[in-house]
Amino acid sequence: MAPPPPPPQWVIDLSSPPASKPKSSGIPDPPGFTPTSTGSKKQQGSSKTVVRAPLTPAEMDTLKLKKAWEVALAPVKQLPMTAIMMYMSGNSLQIFSIMMVGMAFKNPIMGLMATNQAFEKLESEGIKSKITMVKAVYVAMQLLALALGIWKVNGMGLLPTTRSDWLAWETARDPLEIAIPAF
Amino acid sequence: MRLPLNLLALTLSILPSTLAVFADEAYSIDYQHELLGLPQPHTTFFHRPRSDEKATLLYTLSDLGVLGAVHPGTGKVVWRQILDGEGYLRAVEGEGTLVSGTGKSVQAWDAMSGRGKWGNYFTGQVKDIEVMETAAVGEGEKDILALFEEDRKAVLRRLKGANGDVKWEYRGSTEDLPLQVSTNVKDVFVVSLHGARGGYNLKVSILDPVTGKKVNEYTLTAKGDVHAPEDVLLVGANSAAPIIAWTDKTMKNLKVNILGKSGSLQSLPLKESDGEIVKVTIHAPELVQSMPHFLVHSQSALSNRADVYHIDLATGNINKEYELPKLPGKGAVSTSSQDANVYFTRTTQDEVIIVSSASHGILGRWPIMVGKHHGSFVHGVAEVVQRSTDSYAVRSAILMSEEDWVMVRNGAEAWTRVEGLSGAVAAEWAEIPESESLAKTLEAEAHSNPLSAYIHRCKRHINDLHNLPGYLQELPFRIISSILSTDVTSHKPDVLVRDNFGFHKLAIVATQRGRVYGLDSGNQGVVVWSLKAFDISAGKKWDVKGIWVDSSNGIATIRGADGEYILVQTLTGKADEKMDPGHWPPVQSAAVVDSPAGPWILPIGLDGNPGDIPAKWTPKEYLVVQGKGGEVKGLKFDIQGPLAVPITAWTFQPPVGQKIVKVMSRPAHDPVASIGRVLPNRTVMYKYLNPNLVLVTAVSEAAAIATFYLLDSVSGDMLHSTTHRGVDTTQPITSAISENWFVYSLWSDILPTTSGLPASKGYQLVVTELYESDVPNDRGPLGASSNSSSLEPSDVANAEPALPHVISQTFLIPESISHMSVTQTRQGITVRQLLCTLTSSNSIVGIPRTILNPSRPVGRDPTPAEAEEGLFRYQPVIEFDPKMILTHRREVIGVRDVITTPALLESTSLVFAYGIDVFGTRVAPSAAFDILGKSFNKMSLVATVTALGIGVAVLAPMVRKKQINGRMMTA
């Protein structure tokens, strides 16, 4: 059997496209430039992990704990910003302030409900007791954010804290005697 | 259910209240019967308002003292003036002037506009007025002769026609009863009744018109025939030969004297046809140039006939010319003159005929086409017009026996004025009764057990299915009409049914002449039915003490002062039961009480004594009545065997020198939605809500003091009192009380002793609010207890009652208020409005409660928190802004009382004012928040939705196609 004929030129072109870096010939890269080819980066990264020595469990725990603290304190970092925005939005009932208040309540409550999910990846046997404390701090921070929301709602007069808010549930006294006017 | 109501109440209190009647609602939601009162035969006439004008107006001075001009073509009032009571009215022929004499005054009015020209007041009582005709034309305005009774003597004054000044005065020498004044051009005749009461002679004094000196005097013997001024049938008629006429006792002969001819007293026989003659009237022309003819109209119980007489001026003889034959039923004859011609118009139950006074030939004859519900013809005025040589037209305004004033134009009814509705003395709201069978079925279902009731209801609904095709057929029309029509209340006319909004209610009106009317408030106040309840003799007024409407049975009970009562079906106006006056003891007042045998209307006898009543009918509640000297008494019923005996529980008597003029209590329907008022700092002042509050107004005329006492009507304890000094007690002092506040108005002067505080002089409106405690968030001495007793306020024996904390504020108002009432809504959520009747501007003003708030900050602008609670800066003067006037451009005269009732819509209160006029409207004090206004364009809403639907239907396939194409292109 005769060997198969060489594939046509288009097949060769199709299977081995020309290099996508036409300028690589001739012009050198500027100093400090690292090639950004995704392929090469992947290669590099993969090579790095290969290079890095595996972490000990203790180191791993320390890192996890550090990460956990970061997660726990994240809500409080937003607080000053939120507080300023709330202050600026005023106490009147407008779409913007209502949205602000809605977010101020939604975020902490969602955060509180997702407490365990937030720390799920960082859980490990070694730091169980410490993680619990971090969770407590996380919950405290969320409550702080919630308190800010409540402060805002109170400022808007939406909290039923005064006597007038409960007036509707109070009833008039029933008179025991009735006199009919006849004049 | 409580929560939304109260939240709504809170929201409403913050909303600005409406201050205006919207232009598109005026004349549509409000209605008015512009009334005059019953026209009187001697003060009603057609007259040209200007001598060069061809058209005439119809003028009358009614029994209520209303002088008015009515357009004869339309029946609309051109102008009206209220004078002081009945009187005399003359038109100055050839001039645009009317002269009225009422009470002690003689006034001249411009006939076109109704403006006053001049008025003159005298010490005596006006007895008659007459226009002094002059022989020569164009001597300026004609003078007026006015006859007065002063110190039981006749006084005649000739007043200048231009300004009403006295030209000369004649005083009778002897004590006579002045009757009338008459004049032919040469002489002036004063006719007076001479002698003792019961048998008078007629004295005729002849005066010189230029000097007013007595020329001659003669007496006509009429002893036994003339007992009272009414027995003299006619004096004068301003013709060439004025006559005086009366009938003898048995109505067999008519005695006639031509004034000035002392010797000639002619006796004309009255022909009896069937039965005794009961009424004789004489009709003669009024114009000086008319021929001296007159007509004697004699009526028996069954028929009426007439004789026409001519006066021979040369000899002074009176000759019978012809007679008008007997016709069955009652009839009315009226005179009209054109130049020298005199026409008599005779209106009987079958036809109208006109004859000339000269011959008996009938000039025109028309069959009568007037509704039978008007009754028979009583009296009228006519205007005859000669169109061509032998073609005539006649229009006559005739008062009917059912107190309607009907214009009969050539026999046909042109317009009707329901003048009997004027002079209303009492009114009450009535629900339109539901169809009886349904109400009974629903009641039966309510009383049976739930399962059988459910089965019964299902069966009933299946039975109702046969109505379904009709309902479905009607449905498109209903939808279309609800879209197209702008008026929310429009529905089939002539059918009295409740509407979804509760705007259709009946107003039951009782008038001083003993008639009862039913008006539909949702349909421009049309008269649905009317009924003659009692015959009230002339000069008396029906004194209605109470109307009680039993809505479940659809029966209204009306109680009068002389013990009479009548039960009327509210839907049809049929009288179910009737008791004539005099059979039962007199009644001072009446109140609806609840007893073991059901609610009923309890009459209170004189001196506030209801008397003993059967034990079964014992009222469950206490009673508050007024005693002999006006003192306020609390009554309690004690059952002694088969009877319940009233026992006086307490009596309130003001200090010596003070007289109780008014006692007010909270309305029977006075719901309170919120029991507290929220202060700007969100604390609560609890309202003092005691249903047993009575506001007593006592005045001392000598000391110019008005004191207001607030009493607890169960225990008689005085809760609060306030005294005003320098009060003019002759000015109206009115008050109203509702919820936890009361308000009163009076005229107060600056006292010389006042120092320090700035005082003011004028009409004042004082509003006072009552709270349980002066400390916010505190419910007062009673604390959290869920009920309250006036008799035993606390567990401690003989404890003092819990006194309210009082906040008060005074406002100055521009004019006096003659009556006050407060709007009522279904649940009391809507802010109340104070409805004040202003007599001097003939209007009703609605003052919102937000203005009458005693907590408004004084001397400073409100803080933002205060503004949030609807408080604004105190202004001492409340201007009656035209926007607040509920009657807008209407003139509502003689308002006696304003009654309100809630509609089914919480926002709306129905208002009904009565007196001389009848006026009704709907008010929405917190804006009509639960109904779409007229300005809401249902058409454009439907059109928009339809257009959007069409747009979607057209665009959807296009868009779908484009999307598919787009996907094809990119793939």
DSSP B222-279: -TTT--SGGGEEEEE-SSSS-EEEEE-TTSSEEEEEETT-SS-EEEEEPPP-SS-EEE
Please state the rounded mean pLDDT for residues B586-607.
Answer: 89
- pLDDT-derived band at A45, boundaries 50, 70, 90: very low
Tell me the residue ranges of DSSP E strands in B423-543: 424-431, 505-511, 515-520, 526-532
Contacts of A183 in chain B (CB under 8 A): 589, 608, 624-626, 632, 663
The residue with tokens 């009403």 is: B164
Which CATH entry fits the domain spanning B38-121: 3.40.190.10, 2.40.10.480, 2.60.120.330, 3.30.70.20?
A: 2.40.10.480
What is the total count of domains within chain A?
Answer: 1
Nearest to B146 by CA among B134, B163, B136, B131: B131
Statement: residue A67 has pLDDT above 70: yes
Which residues in chain B have Cβ-Cβ distances shorter than 8 Å to A175?
A: 690-692, 787-790
Of A168, A173, A178, the CB nearest to B787: A173
Helix ranges restricted to H, B355-449: 436-447
User: Residue A152 above 70 pLDDT?
Assistant: yes
Q: Do B419 and B405 meet the contact criterion of CB atoms below 8 Å apart?
A: yes
Number of A:B CB contacts under 8 A?
110
Cα B153 to Cα B156: distance, rounded to the nearest angstrom: 10
Put simply, whether B916 touches A (Cβ < 8 Å) is: no
Question: Residues 289-348, chain B: which have Cβ within 8 Å of A?
Answer: none
Amino acid at residue number A19: A
Among the residue ranges B128-142, B565-579, B653-667, the one predicted with the least confidence is: B128-142
A150 phi and psi angles, rounded to 5 deg: -65, -40
B11 touches chain A (CB under 8 A): no
Q: What is the pLDDT of residue A36?
A: 59
- Kindly determine whether residue A163 and residue B776, on different chains, have CB atoms separated by under 8 Å: yes
Q: Which residues of A touch B674 (CB under 8 A)?
A: 167-168
Q: Select the residue of B3, B672, B790 nearest A168 (Cβ to Cβ).
A: B3
Q: pLDDT category, A41, cuts 50, 70, 90?
A: very low
Is B6 within 8 Å of A178 when comparing Cβ atoms? Answer: no
Range of the domain at A116: 57-157
Residue A47 has pLDDT above 50, yes or no: no
| CA distance linking residue A96 with residue B225, whole number of Å | 97
State whether residue B788 sits within 8 Å of chain A by CB. yes
Cβ-Cβ contacts under 8 Å, A171 against chain B = 675, 786
pLDDT at B366 over 60: yes
Amino acid letter for position B472:
L
Q: Is B648 on the interface with A (CB under 8 A)?
A: no
Rounded average pLDDT over B173-187: 83
Q: How far is CA A67 from CA A114, A119, A135, B812, in A?
A: 17, 9, 12, 76
Residues of A with CB under 8 A from a CB of B: 157, 162-165, 167-183
Residue B378 has pLDDT above 70, yes or no: yes
Top mean-pLDDT range of B200-204, B588-592, B788-792? B588-592
Q: Which residues in B lie closer than 8 A to residue A170 (C-beta atoms)? A: 675-676
The average pLDDT across B885-902 equals 93
Q: How far is B695 from chain A (nearest CA, A)?
A: 11
Q: Check: CB of residue B425 under 8 Å from CB of residue B542.
A: yes
The answer to whether the Cβ–Cβ distance between A182 and B591 falls below 8 Å is yes
Listing from the earlier edge strand, what are the strands of the sheet with B613-614?
A179-181, B622-626, B632-640, B643-652, B613-614
Summarised one tens digit per residue, pLDDT across range B804-847 is: 999 999 999 999 999 999 999 999 999 999 999 998 999 999 99
CA distance A156 to chain B (A): 13
- Report pLDDT digits (tens) over B395-451: 999 999 999 999 999 989 999 999 999 999 999 999 887 766 666 777 777 777 888
Q: Identify the burial level of A48 via C-beta atoms within 10 angstroms of its C-beta, where 0-12 means exposed, 13-18 middle and 19 or more buried.
A: exposed
Contact A170 B589 (CB under 8 A): no
Note whether B683 contacts A: Cβ–Cβ < 8 A.
yes
What distance in Å separates the CA atoms of residue B676 and residue B689, rounded to the nearest whole number?
10
pLDDT of residue B758: 65
Of the partner residues A163, A173, A181, the one whose CB lies closest to the CB of residue B786 = A173
Contact between B741 and B820 under an 8 Å Cβ cutoff? The reply is no
Interface with chain B: mutation pick from A161, A162, A173, highest number of B CBs within 10 Å = A173
When pLDDT is cut at 50, 70 and 90, the band that residue B264 belongs to is confident
Q: Which residues of B are less than 8 Å from A178 in CB distance?
A: 620-622, 691-692, 714
pLDDT at A43: 45
**To which residue do tokens 């065997």 refer?**
B641
- Select the more confidently predicted residue: B916 or B387: B916
Distance (Å, whole) CA A174 – CA A171: 9
pLDDT in tens, B334-356: 988 887 788 999 998 888 999 98
**Residue % of chain B over a pLDDT of 70:** 94
Asked if B957 contacts B965 with a C-beta cutoff of 8 angstroms, the reply is no
Residue A104 lies in a domain: yes
Q: What is the pLDDT of residues B436-445, one digit of tens each?
A: 666 677 777 7
For B802-863, give the secondary structure using H, E and C: CCCEEEEEEEEECCCEEEEEECCCCCCCCCCEEEEEECCCCEEEEEECCCCCCCCCCCCCCC
Q: What is the dihedral of CA B836, B840, B843, B846, to 10 degrees?
A: -30
Q: Are B926 and B8 in contact (CB under 8 A)?
A: no
As beta bridge partners, residue B912 has B899, B920
Name every chain B residue with its beta carbon within 8 A of the beta carbon of A172.
672, 675, 689
pLDDT given at position B807? 94
Tell me whether B590 touches chain A (CB under 8 Å): yes
Phi, psi of A83 (to 5 degrees): -60, -45
pLDDT given at position A1: 55
Which of the residues B787, B795, B869 would you substitute to probe the A interface, choosing the one with the greatest number of A C-beta atoms within 10 Å?
A: B787
Residues in chain A closer than 8 A to B782 (CB atoms): 173
- Return all residues near B775 (Cβ < 8 A) that are at least 6 apart: none
Q: Which of A91, A154, A164 to mutate to test the interface with B (most CBs of B within 10 A)?
A: A164
Within its chain, how far is the Cα of A149 from the centroid? 18
Average pLDDT for chain B: 87
Please give the average per-residue pLDDT across A156-178, as a whole number: 87
Residue B603, helix vs strand vs coil: strand
In chain A, what residues touch B665 (CB-CB under 8 Å)? 181
Instruction: Write the burial class of residue B213 (CB in 10 Å: 0-12 exposed, 13-18 middle, 19+ buried).
Output: exposed
Dihedral sign computed on CA atoms, order A134, A135, A138, A144: negative
* Residue B343 structure tokens: 């026409």
Q: Residue B18 has what DSSP assignment?
A: P
Burial class (CB in 10 A: 0-12, 13-18, 19+), B346: buried
Interchain contact, A175 vs B622, CB within 8 Å: no
Residues B559 and B587 sit within 8 Å (Cβ to Cβ): yes
| Nearest CB neighbour to A176, from listed B604, B610, B788 | B788
Distance CA B823, CA B905 (A): 13
Residues in chain B with CB shorter than 8 Å from the CB of A90 are: none
Q: Please enumerate in sequence order all residues whose Cβ is within 8 A of that of B325, keeping only pairs 6 or more positions apart, or say none.
A: B305
Task: Write the Ramachandran bin of B782: left for phi over 0, alpha for psi from -120 to 50, otherwise beta.
Answer: alpha
* Inside any domain, residue A169: no
Distance CA A164, CA B682 (A): 6
Q: Is residue A108 part of a domain?
A: yes
The partner residue sitting opposite B589, judged by closest CB among A171, A177, A182, is: A182
Residue B153's closest CA among B107, B203, B119? Answer: B203
**Residue B390 or B483, more confident:** B390
pLDDT in tens, B131-170: 887 755 556 788 899 999 988 888 999 998 888 899 999 9
> Confidence band (pLDDT; 50, 70, 90) for A97?
confident
Q: Which of B597-611, B648-662, B910-924 has the lowest mean pLDDT?
A: B597-611
Which of A163, A173, A179 lies nearest to residue B692, judging by beta carbons? A179
Distances (CA, A) of B248 to B232, B256, B274, B680: 10, 11, 19, 83
Instruction: Characterize the bridge pairing of strands B787-788 and A174-175.
Output: parallel
- Of B13 and B408, the one with more pLDDT: B408
User: How many residues does the structure list for chain B?
Assistant: 971
DSSP category for residue B928? -
Contact B790 A177 (CB under 8 A): yes
pLDDT for residue B12 is more than 80: no
Nearest to B623 among A157, A165, A179 (CB): A179
| Neighboring chain B residues of A173 at a CB cutoff of 8 Å | 689, 782, 785-788
Q: Contact B691/A175, CB-based, under 8 Å?
A: yes
- What pLDDT score was predicted for residue B757? 63
Q: Alpha-carbon dihedral of residues B938, B943, B944, B950, nearest 10 degrees? A: 150
Minimal Cβ distance to B625: which of A164, A177, A182 = A182
Q: Is A178 in contact with B3 (Cβ distance < 8 A)? A: no
Per-residue confidence (pLDDT) for residue A115, from 0 to 100? 87
Comparison of pLDDT for B939 and A39, the residue scoring more: B939
Axis-axis angle for helices B468-484, B938-970 (nearest 10): 90
Contacts (Cβ under 8 Å, ≥6 apart) of B526? B519, B520
For residue A30, tell me if it sits in a domain. no
Return the structure tokens found at B198.
């019961």
Confidence of residue B660 (pLDDT cuts 50, 70, 90): very high
Whether residue B917 contacts residue B893, with contact meaning beta carbons closer than 8 Å, is answered with yes
Chain A residues with CB inside 8 Å of B3's CB?
168-169
CA distance B551 to B555: 7
Which amino acid makes up residue B909? S
- Give the three-state DSSP class for B59: strand
B651 — contact with chain A (CB < 8 Å)? no
> Given CB atoms, is B661 within the 8 Å cutoff of chain A?
no
Candidate from B590, B622, B663 with C-beta closest to A179: B622
Among left, alpha and beta (phi > 0; psi -120 to 50; other), residue A152 is alpha
Look at residues B615, B485, B625, B620 and name the one whose alpha carbon lies nearest to residue B546.
B625
DSSP string, A100-141: HHHHHHHHHHHHHHTHHHHHTTT--STTHHHHHHHHHHHHHH
Which 3 state secondary structure label does DSSP give A51? helix
What is the nearest CA distance from B898 to chain A, expressed in angstroms? 17
Cα(B613)–Cα(B609) distance, rounded to whole angstroms? 11
What is the model's pLDDT at position B467?
A: 83
Show which of residues 594-633 on chain B sit within 8 Å of chain A, judged by CB atoms.
Answer: 602, 604, 608, 610, 619-626, 632
Using CA atoms, how far apart are residues B245 and B256, in angstroms rounded to an integer?
4
* Residue from the list B682, B684, B788 with its beta carbon closest to the beta carbon of A173: B788
Does the pLDDT value for residue B268 go beyond 90?
no
Answer for the pair B847, B823: CB distance below 8 angstroms, yes or no. no
Residue from B665, B719, B740 whose CB has the most chain A CBs within 10 Å, to mutate: B665
Please answer yes or no on whether B591 and A174 come within 8 Å at the CB atom.
no
Q: How sure is the predictor about A39, in pLDDT bands with cuts at 50, 70 and 90?
A: very low
